[in-house]
Structure 1
């Protein structure tokens, strides 16, 4: 069956997958252009590093203390962990049915009502691209500010400057193409090694904080709520604080966009998604819990000269400049690889969307290097976008933080639409999607409806919380502009759709026809 790729004469990758992988690719009208080099273990390691939950639990936990205090942070984080699992389960089922690098936009093109699937799919593709492309400089920026915090601890007089943050962010972003091109086939092994170090560092940080840090009482940690931002109630403050754990735990689709680089993806991808979700939620919550026990005086921590409250907590615990510098350097090292992995996920989503003609200059963006079998143009374009966004703090750091919030909103919207489409398909279409038998990971009709329904409900809560400013009566600098930016993106996507709709519609129709023609073949393979 001929591929519907926009690229000229796709060249099959030398590292192919299983017979089921080949069947799935034929059913979706695709040529295997990327090497299938990931296993469950290495993909879990990859996704764990993308998420960076235990370092981010310290960073966002410290910055969210004004909204909810220690108790608010702990209970809100736990609630997000429990509810976010329904989102992962919903997406794991869709990934098992349609294991493609396109992820959300492709699922919508299959599951949404036929009347709206093309337009909805296109909108979701843009929302997902908005989310992941805005994340590209995010991890690098956190790594840059971490290095600046290290400098402040080491010198005692160093004052971080915006231009230095920008330069460090771009430098960290620049590592991504090196790993995603020259080391692409070795990247799974590197991910495994980094993830092992990451887990060992997690245990080391726990020991240091528990043994050396000051200790608050359980009553103070679990029952002491604060509302230092000025909201009219503790409940509102805690609602606004949802943004912290959502930023930490969002990104359930990070591994999905590597579906075409994993062996036996329809079976192994859902397992990997559930495994890394459990690992991330567990280590994130444990670190946050320990962090709140040793945080000490909240006001002094928030007023730290390092500009990073979490660094001050570590410094207070160790009372050693050398130990603090070492621990900060370890966190910065992990954010370097988080920046690499974020580029990987973002470029694969961009490549897949361009492959279906969803972007201007799609035929160039979706080209795959014939020698290295990676979407090199998408990798480089992702780097360029990341570097452009990284410059924003020169004018306004608040604007840069807003872009990260906009990324959250884009991904949440994409999740809501694709899960709602699956509910429609489950009840008014084929309960197995385009398959004739249940996929390897299947939630069932009743159970699936319940889980999908809960997932949409909690995502709507996350979406509303993501549009709130961090303080009441915000100024232009503290305002959350995500709603305006989201509307602007929708307008840009709409204008692009007018220009590209014929090309995009043709490819999606070809894919649908390919799936219908191979339903009987797929049922036998399953």
Structure 2
């Protein structure tokens, strides 16, 4: 596949509406449009991995123990509240994706909808915050798989003594698997996503059967009303507030599908559908699995003290009371986490590729390179792999530092959501309900409903962001302190310093120059939009 003869083929085209949108946004079609709404939903659901993450995050969520902070009842009700909040975020972003269906996502939207005076600098900051979020996620998703592999080995061999360097090597091995899929097998990914999605749903059913048939269930009253403050906050409310980080990390990533917009056919129509279906599928699967898990979790303290290092594996063992079935079930989880890591790398590479295309990163021309034969941003994929490998080394020095990097990355994504939705709210009321389109976009909330949804989304996002800055327990040490606030501030400062150096080369959302023959005048743009909406 890497040895090519003859002239490079043209990228797989989209629809006439895709061509119209790309020309209107000033972008050249370089990637293959090989995703459909169904394969993109599969992609997003596998990336979200909510039902396996519900098993892991309910007991260990980037340092925040959901069952410790809130107890069984807290885990359930906080998850539901988080899903309600994230639903308004996804709906808000689906509207933005319908108006501007571009791989750039948040930074592009800010560049279009922010007040003209602040568009360039705000867009640049959002691009960096989003890059921070997704690049940290590359290592984080691989690390989760590595931890499960380590737990798998412990179940298979009770004499195994886990070491930090084992996790590092396993994480890097997973990242190598990821980069192979995202380069050599890139053209086959949509089909693979469809198959994995079906297996993912079957795995969900298998785990439900195991928990409800083989596990010892707690009384419903205890599950739904037993709130706990085991970390010592002195208040159930505070404990539940701190535990918000767990479900947020489980359901975050509303923009994952957006960064494949230029690889989806009929993106302006299909992308909002994919985003909404993907989100609500994830929320439902995650909630049902969390419910099943909490019913059979048993003694929380004993589960957290498991020798496997992974409390969810101990719960599986308690339910099956057998080594063989436990190994098989953990193997299923590991298999899915491998493809979660593949998809996170895909999204992360597309995001930095788009940002580099608009001149937002150092060495942008190199990062922006797209293989004329594969039609993928090869250098961006390799850079995401390299950054992931570097972050994967952090646990050698401090596991707490690695967990902080993941929390900081989530803070970056939440901040990017806040800024792009705020800009849309401003633009909706100050300039146009339809964004920069002449007619109503295919997915439009309107003025009143849009304002309500956007305001709710912003309120929830601010709550999520603040909750994510709390430490796991009161009176933290330097090791256990949550450094999200400091790191986000440092990221903004670094972005501003780089903006001073690179700002002249950053042109925001319309950096790419189209050939003269492909440029669209204002009258032609209106005509194209009318034809597209009449179709």
Structure 2 length normalisation: TM-score? Answer: 0.95
Contact 1:92–1:273 (CA under 8 A) maintained in structure 2: yes
Change in CA separation of 1:511 and 1:453 when aligned onto 2, cut-off 3 Å: farther
Q: Which residue does the alignment assign to 2:464?
A: 462
Aligned-pair CA distance for 1:511: 8.0
Distance of 2:313 and 2:43 partners within structure 1: 26
Aligned-pair CA distance for 1:500: 1.0
Q: Which residue does the alignment assign to 1:19?
A: 16
Point out where structure 2 has 5 or more consecutive residues left out of the alignment: 1-7, 61-65
Q: Which residue does the alignment assign to 1:39?
A: 36
Aligned-pair CA distance for 1:445: 0.8
Distance of 1:312 and 1:509 partners within structure 2: 52
Deviations 1:212-259 (A, max 9, x none): 001100000000011110102010000000000000000000000000
Distance of 1:100 and 1:156 partners within structure 2: 50
Contact 2:108–2:508 (CA under 8 A) maintained in structure 1: no
Residues 1:177 and 2:174 aligned together: no
Higher mean Cα deviation, 352-361 or 58-67?
Answer: 58-67
Alignment of 1:15-94 (within 5 A): 15-63=12-60, 64-94=66-96
Residues 1:523 and 2:529 aligned together: yes
Change in CA separation of 1:515 and 1:484 when aligned onto 2, cut-off 3 Å: farther
Distance of 2:513 and 2:233 partners within structure 1: 50
Residues 1:297 and 2:299 aligned together: yes
Change in CA separation of 1:267 and 1:507 when aligned onto 2, cut-off 3 Å: closer
Deviations 1:423-463 (A, max 9, x none): 01100012111100011111111100100000000000000
Deviations 1:17-55 (A, max 9, x none): 000000000111111100000001100000011111001
Deviations 1:126-156 (A, max 9, x none): 0000000000011110100100001111111
Point out where structure 1 has 5 or more consecutive residues left out of the alignment: 1-10
Distance of 1:38 and 1:507 partners within structure 2: 24
Distance of 1:12 and 1:24 partners within structure 2: 22
Contact 1:112–1:424 (CA under 8 A) maintained in structure 2: yes
Q: Which residue does the alignment assign to 1:422?
A: 424
Contact 2:138–2:345 (CA under 8 A) maintained in structure 1: yes
Higher mean Cα deviation, 428-437 or 377-386?
Answer: 428-437
Distance of 2:512 and 2:217 partners within structure 1: 62
1:440 to 431, 439, 442: 442
Aligned-pair CA distance for 1:519: 3.8
Residues 1:287 and 2:293 aligned together: no
Distance of 1:12 and 1:407 partners within structure 2: 37
Distance of 1:324 and 1:27 partners within structure 2: 54
SS of structure 2 residue aligned to 1:116: helix
Contact 2:212–2:292 (CA under 8 A) maintained in structure 1: yes
Higher mean Cα deviation, 399-408 or 172-181?
Answer: 172-181
SS of structure 1 residue aligned to 2:506: helix
Distance of 1:146 and 1:453 partners within structure 2: 39
2:387 to 371, 374, 385: 385
Distance of 2:177 and 2:527 partners within structure 1: 43
Q: Which residue does the alignment assign to 1:160?
A: 162
Contact 1:434–1:519 (CA under 8 A) maintained in structure 2: no
Distance of 1:199 and 1:27 partners within structure 2: 39
Q: Which residue does the alignment assign to 2:334?
A: 332
Aligned-residue Cα RMSD (Å) equals 1.5
Contact 2:404–2:482 (CA under 8 A) maintained in structure 1: yes
Q: Which residue does the alignment assign to 1:200?
A: 202
Aligned-pair CA distance for 1:177: 1.8
Distance of 2:492 and 2:88 partners within structure 1: 27
Q: Which residue does the alignment assign to 1:232?
A: 234
Change in CA separation of 1:59 and 1:515 when aligned onto 2, cut-off 3 Å: farther
Q: Which residue does the alignment assign to 1:6?
A: none
1:98 to 80, 97, 100: 100
Contact 2:11–2:29 (CA under 8 A) maintained in structure 1: no
Distance of 1:507 and 1:81 partners within structure 2: 31
Distance of 1:272 and 1:285 partners within structure 2: 20
SS of structure 1 residue aligned to 2:59: helix
Distance of 1:306 and 1:208 partners within structure 2: 19
Aligned-pair CA distance for 1:13: 3.9
Distance of 2:527 and 2:475 partners within structure 1: 60
Alignment of 1:107-256 (within 5 A): 107-256=109-258
Distance of 1:408 and 1:515 partners within structure 2: 40
Aligned-pair CA distance for 1:502: 1.0
Moved over 4 A (4+): 509-518
Distance of 2:387 and 2:439 partners within structure 1: 42
Change in CA separation of 1:39 and 1:507 when aligned onto 2, cut-off 3 Å: closer
Distance of 2:167 and 2:511 partners within structure 1: 46
Distance of 1:441 and 1:159 partners within structure 2: 54
Aligned-pair CA distance for 1:491: 1.3
Distance of 1:108 and 1:511 partners within structure 2: 20
2:397 to 389, 395, 411: 395
Higher mean Cα deviation, 254-263 or 482-491?
Answer: 482-491
SS of structure 2 residue aligned to 1:344: helix
Aligned-pair CA distance for 1:484: 1.1
Structure 1 length normalisation: TM-score? Answer: 0.96
